Structures are given as C-alpha cells and as structure tokens.
Amino acid sequence: TFLTRNQSAVCGEWWEAKRESTIGSCKCSLLPNATAEQRTLRRGCELFTAWGWTTGTPKLEYYPIKCPRGFQKLVSNAFGSSGVAPVKSPSYIGILVGAFVALVVCSTLGVLNWCWRLKQNRKVEFEARRKRINRKENTWKNNPNFAAADAAA
C-alpha cells in the first residue's frame, strides 16, 4: 500500500480515545502528501473526518439489493475460485491486424489513384495531339500552295 501502519492509523482508533467525533480526533495532516495517490488518500481522510462521526460502530439502515447485471458483467472476470484473478496483458493482435488492413487499404487507394492519374494524363496528351493534328490539317487545307498541289494531283 501507499501508507505505513502508523500512517493508516491516524484516524483508525479515534472512538477508543473517548473523543466526541472524528472532527479534531483524526490527524490527516500526518499522512504523506508527495504523490497524487497520497494526496487522494489524505483528501479521503479529511472527508471522513469532516463527516463528524460520533461512534466507531455506527448503526446504518440498509437493505440488500440484487447486484445489477452491468456490475456483474464488469467484475465477472476479476475473481476466480482462488480469489482475485490476475490482470491479463493486452492483446496486440487486434492492433496489428487493424494496422495491416489500414496499410493495405491505403496502398490500394494509392495505386488506384496513380492509375487514374496516368489514364487522365494519357487522355489529356491524346486530346492535345489530336488538336495539333487538326490544326495542321486545317493549315494545309487553308494554305493556297497546299490546296493547289492537292488539286493538281
């Protein structure tokens, strides 16, 4: 744990000291405050102290309820027949498969884009070539020197 035995007892036996309540009896300032976890424990001690409990054996009113299914599902793998179950290490196979699929999809899209651009470039080049040929043909047809040579032939 984060606390020593003495630190965990700063508010553990206040009722045995015949004090009136937790207020003024608990010494939460004796708890360490260096880490976030220790600060959380200290805040918990201060909250408990602020409640002002007057007995170490409070009488609580409660009634049993059925454990919610969502909670049962949440903790179902946390315990086994021998107690707390060990935490399973994460499986990276899903991440690897996802990365591989993303790589394949991106590569495929890249190749398809490259092919489409190649086709578009060829189409543009073909149209430019066709326009040049049409211009040359029109130039020959409209040039009187070429027109006379065609008529003589």
- pLDDT tens for residues 82-130? 777 777 777 888 889 999 999 999 999 999 999 999 999 999 999 999 9
* CA 100/CA 117 separation, integer angstroms: 26
Residue 22 neighbours by CB distance under 10 Å: 20
The contacts of residue 16 (CB under 8 Å, 6+ apart) are: 56
Q: pTM here?
A: 0.38
- What is the per-residue pLDDT for 9? 83
- Burial class from Cβ neighbours inside 10 Å (0-12, 13-18, 19+) for residue 3 reads middle
pLDDT at 17 over 70: no
- pLDDT tens for residues 20-61? 777 877 888 889 888 888 899 889 888 988 888 777 777 788
Residue type, 33: N
Instruction: Determine which helix (DSSP H) or strand (DSSP E) holds 79, and give its type and residue range.
Output: strand 79-80
16 and 56 Cβ atoms separated by less than 8 Å: yes
94 and 102 Cβ atoms separated by less than 8 Å: no
Q: What angle do CA 69, 73, 75 make, to 5 degrees?
A: 120
